[in-house]
Amino acid sequence: MLVLFDGELGARQTQRFVEEKLHVGHWSWDLNTGAMNWSRGVYDLFGVDPGSIKASCTEFHKLIHPDDRHLFVDAEQILRQCIAVEREFRIITSSGRLRWIRLRAEPIACNLPDPGQVVGICHEITRHREDRLLLQLNEQRLRMVAELSSCLSWVAKADGALIEFLSLPESMRFAEYLIRPNWTRLVHPEDAERFRESWRRGIEARQKISLEYRMLGRDGAYFPCWSAAKPSFDSHGNVKEWIGVSRNLSDLCDWPQTKRGQLTAAQIRAARAILAWSVERLTEESGVRPGTIRRLEEFGGSSTSDEADLAQLGQTLTKAGVDFIFFACGKPGLRPR
């Protein structure tokens, strides 16, 4: 044994020092006589004066929170079968403080049919329980946010390869997602190259990635999907992993909408970007002059004379595969069909 202090009481002082700094205490229990011995650390953990009670199994049981005493009903029987016991329980000290304690007990002399001696250790885990409760609360909040937003959250390696899904909406719970998640299996083949290029640029820049593509759905069909991811860095500034979310864009049809309104400048620009059309291509398809398109993309419709041109542009772009969305509140939007 390593003795930290000199003198005749060096070993006892070392034990006291360790128990005090680590908030632990140890004890022994004679299963045949019922006698127990507690170290000073056990008394300190339970918040009682060593002179106020005599160490015994009965007193130990009294100090346990009433709602946790059932955890020890079968403890003696288990120990008599030479099986170690580990429990977590609450106590309320004499000052009224609630503490969480972890107990580990181990029978000795297991070469005998019935072990007669048990040794154990107790240590405080209140802070650990608080941290675990906070973690569980945050996990529950994450799941609820994901459910409310109908988003799929996930983690990817530094190279963009999927690791796991943090939340999975019910509409996406099927084998292709749950078994070995892989972008190659989930992204539409025609979108795969553009998908990989977006990841490549994001990884090189070490910045947020945002992209739209078609993802495999539960019914085996593909649906329009938007994904975004941000890198998480380690202490050395290296990308440790990517945290991302994916959103089924077809669900946007379920959002409250109003009757179709007048196209905005932003909608026209975004629609051309989705279709990869130049102004000249849009002129060829719609018959609206290039100067008019550029003006509408810059300033939007400002007079009744623009209504016909905006209507023609809307019909042309919708026919080409763009859906324009007008919400009861918020800005107008659009999505690829």
| Torsional class of 300: left (φ above 0), alpha (ψ -120 to 50), beta (otherwise) | left
CA nearest 60: which of 98, 101, 96, 32? 101
Q: What is the per-residue pLDDT for 336?
A: 79
CA nearest 313: which of 243, 263, 249? 263
Collapsing DSSP states into helix, strand and coil, what is residue 316? Answer: helix
Kindly report, as residue ranges, where domains of CATH 3.30.450.20 are found in the chain.
10-124, 131-251
Q: What is the per-residue pLDDT for 175?
A: 43
Mean pLDDT of each 10-residue bin along the chain, 337 residues long: 57 70 88 90 89 89 93 92 92 87 87 78 92 87 72 88 75 52 85 92 92 83 88 92 86 53 85 89 91 86 78 90 74 77
Q: What is the per-residue pLDDT for 19?
A: 78
Kindly report, as residue ranges, where domains of CATH 1.10.260.40 are found in the chain.
265-336
Q: What is the per-residue pLDDT for 257?
A: 47
- Please give the DSSP secondary-structure letter assigned to residue 153: E
Note the pTM of the prediction, 2 decimals.
0.52
CB 212 within 8 Å of CB 252:
no
CATH superfamily of the domain spanning 131-251: PAS domain (3.30.450.20)
Give the count of beta carbons closer than 10 Å to the beta carbon of residue 238: 10
CATH superfamily of the domain spanning 10-124: PAS domain (3.30.450.20)
d(CA 168, CA 178): 9
Bridge-partner residues for 223, per DSSP?
215
What is the full DSSP assignment across 215-282?
A: EE-TTS-EEEEEEEEEEEE-TTS-EEEEEEEEEEGGGGGGS-B-S--PPPHHHHHHHHHHHT--HHHH
| Sheet arrangement for strand 36-38 | 36-38, 24-30, 117-124, 98-108, 85-92
At the topology level of CATH, where does 265-336 sit?
434 Repressor (Amino-terminal Domain) (1.10.260)
